[in-house]
Structure formats: C-alpha cells, structure tokens
C-alpha cells in the first residue's frame, strides 16, 4: 500500500529529527570546547552561522530527493492537490534565502538566550530549542518544494559536470569546519607569537587538519544516488555528460593507504609552508594560515567525496535510463 505524504514524513521525521539534533549538538559542542567551555554574546554570530550552514546542507538536497519520490510515485501526494507555491514562497524557500532567514532567526534566539539567561542555562536552551528552528525551516522548505514539483516550471541545466556539485558541497563543509574551529585563534597551542616554524604550532596544525578531515569523512558517507536521480528528473544534470573518474590509480588503493599518503603529504605541506612564511618574513592572520595548511585536507576530501558520488551518480544515471525505458 502506498503511504500518503503526511504518514511518510511522520515516519521519516522520527529519524530525521534525532539525526538533526545529533549534528547540531555535536558541532556546537565542538565549538564550545574550542571556546573554552564558555559562551558570550559575541558568540551569537558564529553559533548562528553553524546552525544556518547545517540547515543549508539539509535543505539543498531536499528538492532533489523529493523530485525522485514524486517521479517514482511511491508516495500519495493528494494532500497537495490544489495547493500552489506562490512566487514569494518560492523565493523565500530558495536554499540561499532560507539560509539567510535561518541565520537571522537563530541569531536572535541565541542572542536572547545569552543575554537573558546564565551561561550554562543559555547553552542548554540553545542546544535544545535552536535545532527545532532548523527543523521547522526544513519542514516548510520541504512542503514548498513538493508544491513546486506539481507545477509546470522551466527545467534548466544546473551542473555541467559533477565537479561543480562537489565543489559547492566541499566549500560549505569546510566553511562550517572553519567556523567551528575559529575560537582556536586564542589558544596557546596555535599562537603565532613564536613564529610559524615552531614545532608546537606545526604539530597542533597537523592534528587539527587531520581531525577536521576525519570528522568530515565520517559524515560524507550517506549515499546521494536518489538525490542525483531526482536532479536528473529535474534536468539539473545532463545524463549524457561524461564524468570521468579522477586519479583512478589512487582511487583503487585501499583507504588506509590513501589516508597514510595524505597524512605524510599534510605533514610535509605544513612544514614547507611554515618554513616558507618564516623565510619570507610575512605576517598573516591565523585564519589565513589555517586555510593554507588545510589545502591538502580539502584536496583529499574533495577527491574522496567525488569518488563516492561518482559511483552514486553513475548508478543514478542507470536508474534514470531504466525509468525512461519503463515509461516507454
């Protein structure tokens, strides 16, 4: 029996909401740890940025996923019969606009908690209530996207190849990571007072870059094949585009060997960049130094998700062609 939309999302949200709470609380806990287990009103901006970037990562994939559900027809969407998304609603729940709105709402909520409540109570309230705001934003965005699927809209090519899609996701992932680790600028282990070519600083940066990569790799595992299939139905990808595998020789090596190669390269890169900055006598901000040191980690993460999503994309293309054959 095909479930109706409301029944399906109730079941789906039983797992979505705990997962959303887990992601939000984990990121905020890491930020609070880096901040020295103390939040002030100055932290309202970065904390809100973490919540809004998390919402973007969820909302950005919603339309593709529901396009797949709508085309396959394994859910009864009669609840949306006669409901049309207005132009304002479409604009409001565009992923970038929705992220901006989420940031404003979260900022006001976090600022109010830190202003009116003691620090510990404020952190508990932020961890409990603000993820609900993120969930509600996702809920309204989901309804809007399903409404749009029932309307005749012009379908346009959005990604010329898989690299564009991967670049956007990698950028948002590391932007979130940079916000989470931003308080480390005040940490003694990352002090630039002893110069860039300091053993303490080099070891700290190596551990930080490796830790950021490992955490991001853990959360890069969910399959995107159904999202890709939905985007193919929406003509955002061209099924005829050839997406070749990047560096297939490295891809075929076992994961432990790839990570060992990365770790070695990361160490030499940080040492080389630190030595170069010392010899040149340049003075740069901690955040710029962090980005420079993170280049190997960002490069490996890009390759990792591209390899994984390439397989998902090829599977989605096969499913898309099979769906076309079935309809014919």
DSSP symbol at 4 = B
Contact predicate 237/158, CB 8 Å: yes
pLDDT(328) > 60: no
Enter the pTM of the model.
0.90
Q: What confidence tier does 4 reach under pLDDT thresholds 50, 70, 90? A: confident
Q: What confidence tier does 325 reach under pLDDT thresholds 50, 70, 90? A: low
What are 95-115's pLDDT values in tens digits? 999 999 999 999 999 999 999
**What rounded mean pLDDT belongs to the chain?**
88
Query: Phi and psi at residue 237, in whole multiples of 5°?
Result: -110, 150
What are 129-146's pLDDT values in tens digits? 999 999 999 999 999 998
Domain borders along the chain are 1-153, 157-328
What are 177-210's pLDDT values in tens digits? 999 999 998 888 888 877 888 888 899 999 999 9
Q: How many residues does the chain have?
A: 328
Residue 188 confidence (pLDDT):
82
Alpha helices (runs of H) in 43-94, residue ranges in sequence order: 44-72, 87-92
Buried b (16+ CB within 10 A) or exposed e, 75-109: bebeebeeeebeeebbeebebeebbeebbebbbeb
Nearest-CA neighbor of 141 among 169, 173, 99? 99
């Amino acid at each position: 029996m095909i479930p109706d939309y409301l029944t399906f999302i109730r079941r789906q949200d039983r797992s979505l909401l705990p997962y959303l709470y887990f992601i939000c609380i984990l990121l905020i806990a890491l930020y609070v740890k880096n901040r020295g287990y103390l939040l002030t009103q100055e932290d309202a901006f970065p904390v809100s940025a973490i919540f809004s970037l998390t919402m973007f990562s969820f909302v950005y994939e919603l339309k593709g996923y529901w396009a797949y559900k709508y085309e396959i027809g394994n859910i009864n969407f009669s609840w949306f019969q006669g409901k049309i998304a207005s132009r304002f609603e479409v604009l409001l729940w565009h992923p970038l606009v929705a992220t901006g709105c989420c940031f404003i709402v979260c900022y006001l909520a976090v600022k109010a908690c830190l202003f009116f409540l003691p620090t510990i109570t404020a952190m508990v309230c932020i961890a409990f209530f603000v993820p609900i705001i993120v969930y509600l934003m996702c809920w309204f965005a989901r309804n809007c996207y399903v409404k749009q699927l029932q309307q005749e809209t012009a379908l346009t090519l959005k990604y010329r190849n898989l690299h564009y899609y991967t670049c956007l996701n990698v950028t948002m992932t590391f932007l979130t990571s940079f916000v989470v680790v931003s308080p480390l600028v005040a940490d003694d282990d990352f002090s630039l007072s002893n110069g860039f070519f300091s053993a303490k600083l080099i070891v700290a940066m190596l551990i930080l870059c490796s830790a950021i990569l490992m955490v991001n790799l853990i959360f890069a595992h969910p399959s995107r094949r159904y999202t890709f299939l939905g985007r193919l139905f929406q003509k955002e990808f061209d099924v005829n585009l050839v997406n070749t595998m990047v560096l297939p020789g490295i891809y075929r090596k076992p994961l432990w060997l790839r990570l060992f190669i990365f770790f070695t390269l990361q160490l030499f890169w940080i040492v080389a960049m630190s030595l170069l900055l010392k010899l040149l006598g340049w003075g740069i901000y901690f955040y710029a130094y962090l980005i420079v040191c993170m280049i190997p980690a960002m490069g490996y993460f890009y390759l990792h998700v591209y390899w994984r999503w390439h397989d998902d994309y090829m599977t989605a293309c096969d499913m898309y062609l099979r769906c076309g054959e079935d309809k014919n």
